[in-house]
Amino acid sequence: MLPQKLKLEIEKAHQILPAINEQKSGDDWSGFTRTTFMNIAKQINKKVSLDVINAPYLIEDNLLIGANELDRVFTLYGLASIEDFIKYLKEIPKYRTYNWISGKTLQSYWQGSNAKDKKINVLLTFLGINTNEWDAWRLPQHILPTKKQIKETNNSSPFDEQTNYLLKKYYLGHYFRYYQKADNSLCVIKTPFLLREDESGQVIAESKTVGHRYKSFAIQISDGALYIDFKNVDWDEREHHIFNIGIATSPKVLIGVSSSLNIRKQAIAKRNVIIRQKHSYDFEKMGDVEIPYSKVFEVKSDDSIAADFFKKRKNNLIITSLYYSMDELQSLNHNPI
């Protein structure tokens, strides 16, 4: 069956409202006529076609159409490539749509029929759900957190079941984290960074920063970003990390920002790059490595690419100043720190 969460999101989608005559149809979709579902399907298909035009990988990776069905479409319309297919979609008149999903199929879902993966993907595309979240949306409704559970989670425990599922599927592994040294010297720090399951099955993150060890106390994936809150395992100090993940699945590289306090108790934000490793390493034995900007690399490597990335960017650090008055604030315009 179509997951209840997905049904509810589709029912309240603003693009669909013009297709429903509520005076005649009411608000119970299971009682809608075939004609109403055909109108709904038309709105869905229009939106999905626009999404495919802007993101051809949805077809290239066979996310919405299987390989055999795509071959049939190519033969039927005399197409030779994905580019031809995208051009075909662009040329479809406004009064017609490509039939990603039919009214008959939609009606069957609201009457209890099982949904195929590709059709679920079509509906998730229509809703604008990132592909890295699709698997979680397919979970039965009882596995996903309810609104009440989410509220309770935000008020007490940082555990997020949907995030945990996605992290296990796509992001577990050993990484190295790179950032410019906090004293603003011309040096890149390389330090171990780990996403792993603990004994309870919850995914945690661990990192090191110039001899200090940090462990996550909250992780969440939201709005195409990975948020991680770290706490120093030795004393009361925290770091907050945000990495852009977009629609990536099993990425090799993630770029983001971390924020914390420096030794002068100034708030500092650092540009970060983490690079996933093919082989695991012993996190306990792995320490920090300093890579001077002046280092010459004989061959291209993760270290050389990361170092070059930071060397070519000016604003790798943002450091605040400990001032409290308007006069002090104004003085910074003449003497920036």
**What mean pLDDT is predicted for residues 138-151?**
48
**What mean pLDDT is predicted for residues 164-175?**
90
Kindly state the tokens that stand for 87: 């051009």
pLDDT at 336: 54
List helix spans (H) across the chain: 4-11, 22-25, 34-54, 57-60, 67-77, 82-91, 103-109, 117-127, 134-138, 147-155, 161-166, 302-311, 326-331
pLDDT at 140: 56
- 217-264 pLDDT, tens per residue? 999 988 788 999 999 988 888 999 999 987 677 889 999 999 998 877
- 51-100 pLDDT, tens per residue? 999 888 899 888 999 888 999 999 999 999 999 999 999 999 888 899 99
pLDDT at 26: 64
Q: What is the pTM of this model?
A: 0.56
Residue 103 has pLDDT above 60, yes or no: yes
User: Which positions ≥6 away from 13 have C-beta within 8 Å?
Assistant: 126, 127
Using alpha carbons only, how large is the chain's radius of gyration in Å? 25
Residue 156: pLDDT band with limits 50, 70, 90? very low
Task: For residues 69 and 172, give the distance between their C-alpha atoms in angstroms, rounded to a whole number.
Answer: 34
pLDDT at 231: 93
Task: For residues 219 and 171, give the distance between their C-alpha atoms in angstroms, rounded to a whole number.
Answer: 12
In the chain the domains, ranked by start, together with CATH numbers, are 4-128 (no CATH), 161-331 (2.40.128)
Residue 153 has pLDDT above 70, yes or no: no
Residue 266 has pLDDT above 70, yes or no: yes
pLDDT at 157: 41
Residue 143: pLDDT band with limits 50, 70, 90? very low
- 296-323 pLDDT, tens per residue? 999 999 999 999 999 999 889 998 877 7
